[in-house]
Amino acid sequence: MTTIAIIDYGGSNLKSVYKALDSVSSKKINVKVSSDVKEIVNSDKIVFPGQGAIGNCMSQLKKTGLGRKIENLCQTKPFLGICLGLQSLMRTSEEDNGTACLNLIEGEVKRFKKPSNISGENFDKIPHMGWNNVYWEKKHPLMEGIPSGTRFYFVHSYFVKPKDPELIVGKTNYLGEFTSSIGRENIYATQFHPEKSSAAGLQLLENFVKWDGAS
């Protein structure tokens, strides 16, 4: 039986991720939420979800010891990061007065900024919240059956800027163009929430369940 571990580091959004993954998994797939390092390490696939602030996320990863394990997990198993699960892979984040992240992917997490040439309330609100289009920059197994321009659900005030543009799988427009998904070898991560994105999100999660980690 294949085991998919959803990392519980003390953050939120675990129940909805579990329910969505479980709904697209066969009886041969065991989906579990776990904070046990040994149990996570011994699983076949890893999902790293998250909502909230990066400072607390990194503090909890350090406290639980999961932060030290994630680098190895990213090198050896199919890995899906969602929202903070994407941002935490970068080197640094502007959030919480500057936060050191896991530095697994060279890049930064930047905050959306109101355009300087726009005044008053006539501008897109921060955080970016709601449905928006994701346009594919290249093919990836997790995008199978999902057309470019499909709408996914977002909730965030920060976005990633990977140093290597070849890692960018999807882009979205909000206060300018930003990276909304990345892929490298057995790692795939999204700024949007597939578990909240109706049929398209479930298709992505089903693709992950079937994915062997090859790009």
193 DSSP assignment:
B
Q: Which of 101, 137, 140, 195 is catalytic?
A: 195
Closest CA to 174 of 139, 130, 108: 130
Amino acid at 69: K
**Catalytic site residue from 128, 140, 156, 193:** 193
Indicate if 193 belongs to the active site. Answer: yes
Both structure tokens of 7: 């990392």
CA torsion sign for 70, 76, 79, 83 is positive
Answer yes or no: 83 catalytic: yes
Torsion on CA atoms 197, 198, 199, 200, rounded to nearest 10: -10
Structure tokens at 147: 């057309």
The rounded distance, in Å, linking the Cα atoms of 55 and 73 is: 21
CA–CA distance, 165 with 152 (Å, rounded to integer): 22
Q: Which of 74, 83, 137, 206 is catalytic?
A: 83
3-state secondary structure (DSSP) of residue 36: coil
What amino acid positions are annotated as catalytic residues?
83, 193, 195
